[in-house]
Structure 1
Amino acid sequence: MAEVFLRRLTRWQAEQQREAVADVYVEAYEGDAGAEYRDRQGFLRTFENTVQRPDFDMVVADAAGLVGCLYGYRAARTGEWWEGFRGVLPPEVEERTASGRVFILTELMVVPAYRRQGVSDRLRTLLLIRHATDLVVAVIKRDDDLGREVLRSWGWTKLGEFDRGAPGSAAPPRRGETEAPTPAGLVWEGWMRPTARP
């Protein structure tokens, strides 16, 4: 197996690499047969919007071609990102959001052949090392067992649950979500990094 090298991408480089990133998405999620085109197109639309968010940052894993990536952005101080959160947000989360100190991990993808080799840990370390945020959050589907396993292995804790945003919601898409319809009743789990730096 080829050695894996990590590198950061600027916003411009991420936009230039979008087709390769979409290839990783399709391989990493291995959706229903015949759904690859729809899933890929939905992903590309979501990715295009995410790349434009403030403080977007991305790292990729390369082994003679992209085999993984991790990216995210700083949450808006307005708190719109928390739309759909079930229950009451802890006051410290609201305070950190208002002060611009929350970073959102939008997507982590590693193709199956390179999983369980520490690639996701290396991607996380490189991405977060330069972000002086107090809180890092990821949101996954409740049935995303692999995502939950990764977050637990990182020592993260469950913050709470989100409902799917209403049509026209200002809340951003969640990990693994494209514009395809989402089953009714599907709930999202929010996970956060402990306050200590990685």
Structure 2
Amino acid sequence: MTVTVQLLNGEQTAELESELKKVFAEAFAEPPYGEGPADVERAFRRFRSQIRRRGFRAAIAFDDETVVGMAYGYPLSANTGWWDTLIDPVPGDLRHEDGKRTFGLFELAVRPPWRRQGIASHMHRVLIEGLDNARVLLNARPEATGAQAAYLAWGYRRVGSAIPWEGAARHDVMVLDLPHP
């Protein structure tokens, strides 16, 4: 069997919610995340509003009919609160959003049995290919050394730290500048 990645819009992604919950639950159950059923439900309450955002797109990995990975996001609005969660000061020009400048990558996960096969990298490439945004922004746990290594290898740079929601652990805020023709 060969893993394939499909680029989907919000409506198409919504149809896969139950399968994506399985990916999230398996990927984030282990350390350093330790997320359980309540965390999955919280993430998918956000998911239901995220899929309706302008410019939402998802790269979903399938092994035959089984969903084995997901990556999704959308362009940040001009009045996004993302930068307000930073605990480190950053220059104002880095924080500036206009509704088009930054694509927010909200989730990227691969189920454990399918890891270390290049699936995350493939989903990431499919997700950002053709974006007309200037950059991609994501939050990543510093203790997630595998994810951190991948992001750095893909060209992301750390620009600060954030507490993305009340009660969350500290996350590194990372930016990838996109090439423009």
Structure 1 unaligned spans of 5+: 167-180
Aligned AA (2:155)? G
Q: Which residue of 2 aligns with 1:3?
A: 2
Q: Which residue of 1 aligns with 2:131?
A: 131
Q: Which residue of 1 aligns with 2:86?
A: 85
- Equivalenced residues, count: 177
**Contact 2:133–2:178 (CA under 8 A) maintained in structure 1:** no
How far residue 141 of structure 1 moved from its aligned partner, in angstroms, is: 2.4
**Contact 1:70–1:124 (CA under 8 A) maintained in structure 2:** yes
Q: Aligned equivalents of 2:55 and 2:131: distance in 1?
A: 10
Which residues in structure 2 correspond to 1:129-168 (within 5 Å)? 129-165=129-165
Q: Aligned equivalents of 2:30 and 2:103: distance in 1?
A: 28
How far residue 122 of structure 1 moved from its aligned partner, in angstroms, is: 1.0
Q: Cα RMSD between the aligned structures?
A: 2.2
1:98 is paired with a residue whose SS is coil
Q: Aligned equivalents of 2:9 and 2:156: distance in 1?
A: 27
How far residue 155 of structure 1 moved from its aligned partner, in angstroms, is: 2.2
How far residue 152 of structure 1 moved from its aligned partner, in angstroms, is: 1.5
How far residue 60 of structure 1 moved from its aligned partner, in angstroms, is: 0.4
Q: Aligned equivalents of 1:57 and 1:18: distance in 2?
A: 14
Which residues in structure 2 correspond to 1:1-198 (within 5 Å)? 2-31=1-30, 36-64=36-64, 65-95=66-96, 97-98=97-98, 100-165=100-165, 181-182=167-168, 186-196=169-179
Q: Aligned equivalents of 2:63 and 2:103: distance in 1?
A: 27
Structure 2 unaligned spans of 5+: none
Q: Aligned equivalents of 2:40 and 2:77: distance in 1?
A: 27
Q: Aligned equivalents of 1:99 and 1:74: distance in 2?
A: 6
